[in-house]
Copies of this chain bind each other. A is one copy, B any other.
Amino acid sequence: MKKKLYNKVVSLINDLKKNSGTHSPSIDTILEHCPELKIEVDACFLSNPYATELFIEFLNKDLIKTDTLREVLEYYPPQNREVSKNISKAINVDSKKIFVGNGAIEIIQAVLHNFVKKKICVISPTFSSYYEFVKAENEVVYYSLSKENDYILDSKKYVEFIKENKPDTIVLINPNNPNGGYLKENDIIYILENLNDVENIIIDESFIHFAYENIELSQISSEDLIAKYSNLIIIKSMSKDFGIAGLRAGYAVMSEIKVDFLLKFGYLWNVSGLANYFFKVYSDFNFIKQYEIVRKKYIMNTLMFLNQLSSLSGIKVYPTKANFALVEIKNGMSSFDFTMTLLVNYGIYVRDCSDKIGLEGNFVRIASRSFEENLLIIKALKEILCSKK
């Protein structure tokens, strides 16, 4: 019975992946084609479930109970420059330096298509859209993180590499996806100070709310550095930290000239009514106060999960300050088999990294979810790793 389902799921995922590029098909898509599959935990999906709950609470109170959801769905949302005013309130950056996006992915596309001149340098491994969306006429150079060094970026060596290769645009994700490697504020400033002749320094902070440098787990961001470094472009997804990927909400902080350029030729009504509602909430002190509690709760949760993961034998967990871990499978299974076994036998969906450029070996990426879901993940991993030892 399970064997039959296993074979069906394997062939389904292989089919779906052909249409998904180097991304995993969503569980929604998988279940549409295979409704008999029971998915208990979506640990492929990188978001804080407690933040989703909090946002749903606000939405219920503000839109459902007041019967005003219709207005949000029926009317045109405000234009880009209007929405950015709420973000400005939230992050204390001049709204003229804020560009609002239909998810961070739209901003990645906009920045790559409009500001890369000739050559872009991306980290390897990293989020694939940063090299896949680059226009055909542009060159991509890769700065490879090494396995021996646990895929940790050395900012001095990185600066040397950039000075030598002279790209006009560079991209760092902080913490990096898929390994969670984190650059401290000092490293970021070191890079910015030493690379002021690079035209565009993209720092993707989509996972920054999960990182911390002190025991209070205070929020970190390089957004205010835009005042000093006009070549900086901070890209921020809301999907991960606020658990609202379905809303498609993101923003970027960049120079006023860049914002003006993008808005001159497009991006007029690219934010939905609900995403606009989210940005209103985002600038609401009462929401952010409650958000800070669930953010810290989730970080503590993740820390515990990573501890448990690291204690399992048969896998290696790489250092991370994100809400996920890059895990190397060392018990002889391929990462694809491992992923399929977890999915079919335990209903746990993780990210098989076999298609990720820059990883040598059998890797999966496992997200931290709620406390209860993390327990299920650990239990399943223990069983798989014991049986195959």
Contact = CB atoms under 8 A, between A and B. Distances in A.
Nearest to A272: B248
A42 B75 CA distance: 10
Contacts of A27: 75
A106 interface: yes
A49 B29 CA distance: 32
A38 to B, nearest CB: 15
A14 interface: no
A28 B68 CA distance: 13
A274 B272 CA distance: 10
Interface in A241-294: 243-248, 265-275
A159 interface: no
A79 interface: yes
Nearest to A136: B265
Contacts of A29: 78-79, 82
Interface stretch (A18-26, A143-151, A189-197, A222-230): A18-26
| Among A72, A78, A239, residue most surrounded by chain B Cβ atoms (within 10 Å) | A78
Contacts of A245: 74-77, 273
Contacts of A72: 246
Give the residue among A26, A109, A248 with the most B Cβ atoms within 10 A: A248
A47 interface: yes
Determine which residue in A25, A49, A76, A81 has the highest number of CB atoms from chain B within 10 A of its CB, and name it: A76
A105 interface: yes
A45 interface: yes
A268 B106 CA distance: 8
A129 interface: yes
Nearest to A70: B56
Contacts of A45: 75-76
A55 interface: yes
Given A265-B109, A269-B105, A274 B73 contact: yes
A168 B134 CA distance: 26
A88 interface: no
B265 A19 contact: no
B52 A70 contact: yes
Given A28-B75, A52-B74, A106 B246 contact: no
A118 interface: no
Contacts of A106: 102, 266, 270
A50 B272 CA distance: 21
Given A52-B70, A74-B52, A265 B113 contact: yes
Interface of A: 19-21, 23, 25-29, 42, 45, 47, 49, 52, 55-56, 59, 64, 69-79, 81-82, 102-103, 105-106, 109, 113, 129, 132-136, 239, 243-248, 265-275
Going nearest first, the 8 A-B pairs with the smallest beta carbon separation are: A246-B273, A109-B266, A76-B245, A73-B246, A248-B272, A52-B74, A29-B78, A102-B102
10 contacts: A23-B268, A26-B76, A49-B74, A56-B73, A59-B69, A102-B248, A105-B269, A246-B273, A248-B270, A272-B272
Given A103-B269, A136-B265, 19 more contacts: A19-B79, A21-B79, A23-B268, A26-B76, A28-B76, A29-B78, A29-B79, A45-B75, A52-B70, A59-B69, A71-B246, A73-B274, A74-B243, A74-B246, A75-B245, A102-B106, A109-B266, A109-B267, A248-B271
